[in-house]
Structures are given as structure tokens and as C-alpha cells.
Amino acid sequence: MSEAQGSTMTAGFEARDSARTRRQGVALVFGCTILGAAAQILMKTGANHLVHPGVAGMIANLPLLGGYALYGLSTLLLVLALRDGELSLLYPVIALTYVWVTVLSFVIFHDRVNPFKIAGIVTIVIGVAVLGRGGER
């Protein structure tokens, strides 16, 4: 195998590899945003049920504790994604949290949905799709 051929093959492998790493990273951040949104919902539920203000009340509040735990897990997923992925590519994907929170608030708290919110979450999803797309660099 000539040296030129060898380097072309390596370049091809790296391109494939980076597309796969990117998808993997975006998938991890995707999971991170679902956990983050669930954390926010739990914390809101916990805050609504906070009868005894102060540290003792917060520790006894299971939804609030669950919310913090999920936040921790979601940060762990973000860190795993950042291990191999690019920060500039992965960080905006966190905006997916807005999408889940809007949807979950509608389902759980029956918050109102309006055209602005729908246009917003659709645009965010398209933006994330652009970031996650493989191939072109």
C-alpha cells in the first residue's frame, strides 16, 4: 500500500469516526436534556409542596431531592458527551430542555401552549437537527 493510499484511508476513517462521535455526543446530550427537564418538573412540584421553608423542609421534600439527583445525572451525561465531543457543537443542544419542559408543563401542569411556544420548540428542534447532522463539517 502506498503512503498516499494509506493516508486517504485514514482520512476516510476519521471522517466516519467523527460523524459517529458527533451522533453519539448529540445522543448523550439528548438524554441529558430529558433528565434535566424531568429535574425541573420535579423541583417545581417540590417547590409547590414546600410546607416547611428552610433546609430541614428541603431535605424532607422527596420531589426536590429527586430533582437534584436527576440534575446530577444529567450533568454526568453532559460530561460523558464532552469527553469526546466538541463543546461548541454540543452545548447549544442543551436548548432541547426548553422543548421537553414546554411539552411536560402542558401535559402535567396544563400550562397554556400558544403559537409562539410551538414555533419556538419547532425551530429549536430544527437547529439541533442541523448540529447533529453528520457528513459536512
User: Toward other proteins, which CB reaches closer, 66 or 127?
Assistant: 127
Among residues 19, 50, 86, 103, the one that binds other proteins under rule CB under 8 A: 86
Considering only 31, 66, 98, 104, the residue that binds other proteins (CB under 8 A) is: 98
Q: What's the Cα-to-Cα distance from 34 to each of 24, 99, 113, rounded to whole Å?
A: 16, 9, 19
Contact region with other proteins (CB under 8 A), list: 7-15, 27-35, 50-58, 115-123: 115-123
Q: What's the gap between Cα 72 and its chain centre?
A: 13
SS3 labels along the chain = CCHHHHHHHHHHHHHHHHHHHHHHHHHHHHHHHHHHHHHHHHHHHHHHCCCCCCHHHHHCCHHHHHHHHHHHHHHHHHHHHHHHCCHHHHHHHHHHHHHHHHHHHHHHHCCCCCHHHHHHHHHHHHHHHHHHCCCCC
By CB under 8 A, name the one of 3, 55, 88, 110 that touches other proteins: 88
Minimum CB distance to other proteins, residue 116 (Å):
3
> Based on CB atoms, which residue is closest to other proteins, 62 or 119?
119
Does 137 bind other proteins (CB under 8 A)? Our answer is yes
* Stretch 52-81 residues interacting with other proteins (CB under 8 A): 75-76, 78-80
Interacting residue ranges for other proteins, rule: CB under 8 A: 75-76, 78-80, 82-83, 86-89, 91-92, 95, 98, 102, 113-128, 130-131, 133, 136-137
